[in-house]
Amino acid sequence: MARKPGKKLPAKKGTRVRVDLRHNRNKPAPQKDWTREAREQGIDDVDTESGETVSAKGDLSRKRTVVVRNDADDPARFNGTVVTMRGLFADVDDGERVWSCTVRRIVRSRRIAERHAVIVGDKVRFEIVADEPGRETEGVIEEVMPRRSVLERVSGRRRHTIAANVDQVIITTSAAHPRPKTHLIDRYIVATLAGRMVPVVCMNKIDLDTDGRSAALLERYANLGYRTLQTSAVAGSGVDQLGDMLRGTSSVITGQSGVGKSSLLNTIQPGLQLPVGRISEETLHGRHTTTTARLIKLEIGAYVVDTPGIRSFDLAAVPLHEIEMYFDEFVELIPDCKFPDCTHVHEAKCAVKDGVERGLIHPDRYKSYVRLFTEPDRRS
């Protein structure tokens, strides 16, 4: 039964249908059309588990089995969350198991401007294919749902999306090895707020904070009204509090390589056994132990994306004129700038610069702003 494009097939819930491979490869649209058509018509009188197979006679090599399921009464079947990307494959969790999925080209092409068509945290709709009856091996992502939040960074002229659909960003830094970089924390905060998420500044390795400087730095962010946290994955301090912050929500944990992101998650849930790096003897820096972002479901009732560490100079894909609004302490002063389009960099009678002099704005925060505003690689 060679299928003509557009011709209706008696697709039913759980029915496996042999479709023409060549057709299927060359023209993805018709397959999508008829499965959707079947769903819209609500044809689902066959039990999912005992789905029947309609085999084409002969010429089997050019056919493959597509399992058509109606998801109207069981959304988990076709809806899933991307837990990790492996090259062109996405691992999609449908709540019951993880499917290795390819991404239909049209989905990739439509999102070409975003560079990453499918990313960790994405809610997707996918279809399940089987290489032979009863052997459902992989899926095809047909649709990526709108993202309610994204954490993005820029690298040169490229925009990278780190994770989607998370509520908060655990901006992790460490008291030593590596030392905290205020500029990086500030950039993370900007990227977090711009991506419609809530920042939490976490100072890990507090056991190494011998002079109290890191605790003081954290205080600065607490005074700005951000949630802050001191932790030690080694001593176990602050880990319960971190768990409390993660519970009941979805987060992404970010920060330089070696600050202890994976270590913290391992301490919250010892069975997790995420690979943890060794600090290199010579540089005292981490060496990118975590290589790909991964969405983890913690037993405490939390979703968290563990991410690879990134370097300091490539974060925040935010339009220049919007940066000021993500520096919360600037916002209330800005109405007093003389020029309505004041950029707070070179203008006279600038209330922000004045605020720095009056001690209302920390000089480091102002420096971070100016750097973000003037860096050439941001002007793309």
From ligand GTP, Zn ion, Mg ion, none, interface partner of 133 (C-beta below 5 to 8 A by class): none
# residues near Mg ion by CB under 5 A = 4
- Does position 285 interact with ligand GTP (CB under 6 A)? The reply is no
From Mg ion, ligand GTP, Zn ion, none, interface partner of 337 (C-beta below 5 to 8 A by class): Zn ion
Report yes or no: 245 and 304 within 8 Å, Cβ to Cβ.
no
Minimum Å gap between C-beta 196 and Mg ion is 25
Among 232, 250, 251, 343, binds ligand GTP (CB under 6 A): 232
From Zn ion, ligand GTP, Mg ion, none, interface partner of 344 (C-beta below 5 to 8 A by class): Zn ion
- Does position 262 interact with Mg ion (CB under 5 A)? The reply is yes
CA dihedral defined by 189, 237, 179, 294, rounded to 10 degrees? -60
Query: Closer CB to ligand GTP, residue 56 or residue 208?
Result: 208
From ligand GTP, Mg ion, Zn ion, none, interface partner of 243 (C-beta below 5 to 8 A by class): none
Minimum Å gap between C-beta 330 and ligand GTP is 30
From ligand GTP, Zn ion, Mg ion, none, interface partner of 342 (C-beta below 5 to 8 A by class): Zn ion
Sites for Zn ion among residues 305-364 (CB under 5 A):
337, 342, 344, 350, 352
Report yes or no: 234 and 207 within 8 Å, Cβ to Cβ.
yes
Query: Closer CB to Zn ion, residue 58 or residue 319?
Result: 319
How many of the other CB atoms lie within 10 Å of CB of 355?
Answer: 21
Span interacting with Mg ion, options 57-65, 82-90, 212-220, 290-298, rule CB under 5 A: 290-298
- Does position 259 interact with ligand GTP (CB under 6 A)? The reply is yes
# residues near ligand GTP by CB under 6 A = 24
Span interacting with ligand GTP, options 117-125, 204-212, 322-330, 365-373, rule CB under 6 A: 204-212
Query: Closer CB to ligand GTP, residue 70 or residue 172?
Result: 172
- Does position 290 interact with Mg ion (CB under 5 A)? The reply is yes
Minimum Å gap between C-beta 186 and ligand GTP is 19
> What tokens appear for 3 in the block?
């299928």
Minimum Å gap between C-beta 262 and ligand GTP is 3
Minimum Å gap between C-beta 359 and Zn ion is 17
Give which of 165, 222, 242 is closest to 196, Cα–Cα.
Answer: 165
- Does position 11 interact with Zn ion (CB under 5 A)? The reply is no
Query: Closer CB to Zn ion, residue 313 or residue 373?
Result: 373
Binding site for Zn ion (CB under 5 A): 337, 342, 344, 350, 352
Binding site for Mg ion (CB under 5 A): 261-262, 289-290
Binding site for ligand GTP (CB under 6 A): 204-205, 207-208, 232-234, 257-263, 276-279, 286, 288-290, 308-309
